[in-house]
A and B are shown apart, each in its own frame.
Chain A
Amino acid sequence: MTLLLEAKGLDLKFGAIAALDDVALDVTAGEVVAIVGESGSGKTTLLRVLAGQMAPDAGAVHYLGRDVLGMTEAERRRLMRMDWGFVHQNPRDGLRMGVSAGGNVGERLMALGARHYGNIRDEAKAWLQRVEIDAGRIDDLPRHFSGGMQQRLQIARTLVTRPKLVFMDEPTGGLDVSVQARLLDLIRALVRELGLSVLIVTHDIAAARLLADRILVMRRGQVVEQGLTDRVLDDPQHPYTQLLVSSVLAA
């Protein structure tokens, strides 16, 4: 198993608040890692630091042995375009709302140098179908899509270049449960099919259980517990994890 992403000793303070306190994390190829914790526990901050979008006060992040934090912006953007993907919680942050669905999916291809309109369009159609959007809506604007469709479009747009590592920030946030379930199903299928590595941030324990191989529990900027998903959720060791697991509502 190759080590894809490796982070050590990450520290970040927002004033007096420690958002990250000596956080370490590994992601191996083909693995889905979930970061769970309550709001304000530093999950999203960790994701942003790992993706190189924010500099920590201390610590190091390596992607395939390359120092992510020491990269020039050009190198980081190239990585972001070719090897990585980022799925935002709010699809509006990840999509171009004034550009058609096809254009949204094609943008990453064109940024990588695709210059054949027909091929770009075929690829976009294939991806829309893959994420269960009617290919006939390829020329519609995302603002005319429902929230769940927008999120699926964002996933198609991110995965079209077949990234190795995808960062997902609360991908099911703000969707109703039936739509969430379909989206989780879709993500699970795509992850297995494409052999993606995913780092997913969520406060939804059920989503983590469904998707993740491994779980990290964060609280006040610290990783309080980590391990295989079933182990952590069925036999939580840390009092906070116990609280978190027992707080999940059973329908």
Chain B
Amino acid sequence: MTEAGYNFAYLDEATKRMIRRAILKAVAIPGHQIPFGAREMPLPYGWGTGGIQVTASILGPNDVLKVIDQGADDTTNAVSIRRFFTRVAGIATTEVTGEASIIQTRHRIPEKPLTENQILVYQVPQPEPLFRLEPHRAETRRLHALADYGLMHVRLYEDIARLGHIAKAYDYPVMVNERYLMSPSPIPAFDNPKMHQMAALQLFGAGREKRIYAVPPYTPVRSLDFEDHPFRPIRAPHACAICGSTTSYLDELVTDDAGGRAFICSDTDYCQERQQAPKAAAE
């Protein structure tokens, strides 16, 4: 049941309207950052205030929400945001990727391919891909307007010159629809190829920075690279210690004080599904 005294999904209708307008603009110009009036949310900046506002604005009473934090459904951030929406919107939640209509995510894309009936909402700490390269926001906006992205390649060049390879393993810059340079939020570079021509709508909310951007379904998303140093989605060269997957993105866990470690799927739901599948087949 919803908490008394709150509007459906916490935000008032005028705010939702404002955010929805920003979302529509963002969808119309894939990869372009749209400013919006981010509200104070009952959680600190950096915990997903942007994502939570986007989710609140697109949530309907029949939606089924899944929230993941670094791929996991059972971490504090994911549990709190799920409980928050259960309380203020009374909607159903799930941990199963296939059952969700809206998936709010922090730093991962689920392993299971998403469908046209799903929306993926990213929590974004820093929406500006040219951040740290060009200190002036007015100038980065101009660079975006003129599609002047030599600077980003200079950064990648510097990586190769110093380290022999492109060192960015997460938040790896992408070109959306061959027009706008976009930060994919700190997802691992491993997940970048999943954004390309994805069937689901991808929305990005940055609360502290007050920006919303989007990748509409079936939009080309290309990771930047050099011809002789092509983009590589990096993955630990192991099999999951629980489900044995050799294709999913793995987290490294320290298991004891003697240097023992294990690699397990970062996507908990994917791992669970794979654990249950052999049992179902056996029964």
A residues contacting B by CB (< 8 A) are 73-74, 77, 96, 99-100, 102-103, 106-108, 110-112, 115-118, 120-121, 138-139
Contact = CB atoms under 8 A, between A and B. Distances in A.
Contacts of A120: 157
Contact of B150 (A111, A121, A139): A111
Contacts of B146: 73-74, 77
- By secondary structure, the B interface counts as helix
Contact of B161 (A102, A110, A111): A102
B195 to A, nearest CB: 21
Given A74-B145, A120-B157, 17 more contacts: A74-B146, A77-B146, A99-B154, A100-B161, A102-B157, A102-B161, A106-B154, A107-B150, A110-B150, A110-B154, A112-B150, A115-B153, A115-B226, A121-B161, A138-B161, A139-B161, A139-B162
A103 B150 contact: no
B278 to A, nearest CB: 45
Given A73-B142, A100-B161, A139-B162, A115 B227 contact: yes
Report the interface size class on chain B: 10 to 19
Interface of B: 142, 145-146, 148, 150-151, 153-154, 157-158, 160-162, 225-229
Given A77-B146, A110-B153, A103 B227 contact: no
A117 B229 contact: yes
25 contacts: A73-B146, A74-B145, A77-B148, A96-B154, A100-B161, A102-B157, A103-B154, A103-B161, A106-B154, A106-B157, A108-B150, A110-B150, A110-B153, A110-B157, A112-B150, A115-B153, A115-B225, A115-B226, A116-B227, A116-B228, A117-B157, A117-B160, A117-B229, A118-B228, A121-B161
B201 to A, nearest CB: 30
A61 B154 CA distance: 33
A117 B226 contact: yes
Nearest to B153: A110
A112 B148 CA distance: 9
B158 A100 contact: yes
Given A77-B148, A110-B150, A103 B226 contact: no
B232 to A, nearest CB: 14
Contacts of B229: 117
Contacts of A77: 146, 148
Nearest to B134: A96
A99 B162 CA distance: 11
Contacts of A138: 161
Contacts of B145: 74
Contacts of A118: 228
A115 B157 CA distance: 10
